[in-house]
């Protein structure tokens, strides 16, 4: 394996802290599938079985997810490196919550779910890394719910967008009617429109018809 690829694999969240000796031993026991997708290719669709750890190791993808009543659609741009929905591999459903499409040519490393049980679980550092990833997601969701009390309308709008985001950086896009957003924010359409226009005047978002574009979530939050 070429050294740059070797270093890339060791930098992935599941393998961080693993010694080179253990990593070399692990590589001999598991199958690594490297898959390349051209731009505009659908990689996963919401509802597909999540059967593998899918690491985006090169390129950019866009994820999308519809609201429960299909009253809005949320898009986000994700750059490598990133582990795609590891929490969706377990639990009752075991399916992807979002759809993923390649924005540029992308490279993925796929590790079949069976190896988590048969090989990766033998390494304490891999178990702890995976546990930290899953717990981090749970803590993020728990904190999101309990921090909503006493927020201003602007804070609720930002909090809503942040809660929809799987990664807390980069470009986001929310397609929604103003009336639907006002209903979700428990506010009047006029007040929501004023807050959005204020955010736009500060350069934090761009408004289009039924669309809110956030160039960089890290600036908004």
pLDDT in tens, 69-119: 778 999 999 999 899 998 898 888 899 999 999 999 999 999 998 888 888
Give the integer Cα–Cα distance in Å for 73 and 75: 7
Structural domain 3-60+79-141, CATH architecture: Sandwich (2.60)
Indicate the pTM of the whole model: 0.86
Same fold: 3-60+79-141 with 147-220: no
Q: What mean pLDDT is reported for the chain?
A: 90
Domain boundaries, the chain: 3-60+79-141, 147-220
Neighbours of 7 (CB within 10 A): 9
Among 52, 49, 10, which Cα is nearest to 33's? Answer: 52
Phi and psi based region of residue 59 (left: phi greater than 0; alpha: psi -120 to 50; beta: remaining): left
In degrees, rounded to 5, the angle at the alpha carbon of residue 126 between the alpha carbons of residues 123 and 85 is: 145
Using 50 as the pLDDT threshold, list the residues of the chain that sit under it.
Answer: 1-3
Check if CATH label 1.10.10.10 holds for domain 147-220. Answer: yes
């Amino acid at each position: 394996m070429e050294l740059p690829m070797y270093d890339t694999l060791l930098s992935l969240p599941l393998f961080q802290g693993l010694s080179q000796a253990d990593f070399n031993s692990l590589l001999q026991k598991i199958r690594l599938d490297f898959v390349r997708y051209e731009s505009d290719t659908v990689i996963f669709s919401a509802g597909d079985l999540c059967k593998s750890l899918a690491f985006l190791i090169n390129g950019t993808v866009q994820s999308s997810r519809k609201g429960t009543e299909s009253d809005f659609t949320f898009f986000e741009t994700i750059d490598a490196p990133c582990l795609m929905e590891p929490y969706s591999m377990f639990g009752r459903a075991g399916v992807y919550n979002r759809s993923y499409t390649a924005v540029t040519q992308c490279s993925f490393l796929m590790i079949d779910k069976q190896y988590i049980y048969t090989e990766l679980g033998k390494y304490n550092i891999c178990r702890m890394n995976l546990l930290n990833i899953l717990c981090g997601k749970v803590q993020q969701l728990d904190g999101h719910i309990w921090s909503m009390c006493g927020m201003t309308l602007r804070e609720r709008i930002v909090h809503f967008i942040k809660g929809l985001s799987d990664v807390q950086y980069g470009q986001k896009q929310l397609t929604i009617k103003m009336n639907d957003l006002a209903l979700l924010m428990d506010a009047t359409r006029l007040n929501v429109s004023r807050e959005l226009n204020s955010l736009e005047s500060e350069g934090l978002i761009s408004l289009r018809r039924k669309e809110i574009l956030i160039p960089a979530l890290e600036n908004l939050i």
